[in-house]
Amino acid sequence: NMSLEPEMWDALEEIGQFENRSVDALIELVQAGKPTGANLASAVRVFILNYYSLSSVAALRAPAPSHRH
C-alpha cells in the first residue's frame, strides 16, 4: 500500500487514460524501473513530474497548426 496525495493519484489516473494503461500497470512500470532501495512513492512522484515535463517540452516543440483556408 502506497501513500500519495490525492493530486498524485489524479495525475496517475490521467496519465493512464493518455497511455491506455491502468494505474496499477503504471505503478508496476515505475516499480520495475526504480533504483533498488528507492522509495516507491517518491519514484511515482518523479515519474509523474517527468511525464508532464516531457509532455510540455513536446508541446512546445510541435509545429504550429497551419491556418490555411
Full pLDDT tens readout for the chain, 69 residues: 799 999 999 999 999 999 999 999 999 999 999 999 999 999 999 999 999 998 887 777 777 667 665
Residue type, 36: T
Q: What is the reported pLDDT for 68?
A: 63
Q: What is the pLDDT of residue 1?
A: 74
pLDDT of residue 60: 75
pLDDT for the residue 59 = 75
DSSP letter (8 states) at residue 2: -
Cβ(12)–Cβ(27) below 8 Å: yes
Query: What is the predicted pLDDT for the residue at 69?
Result: 58
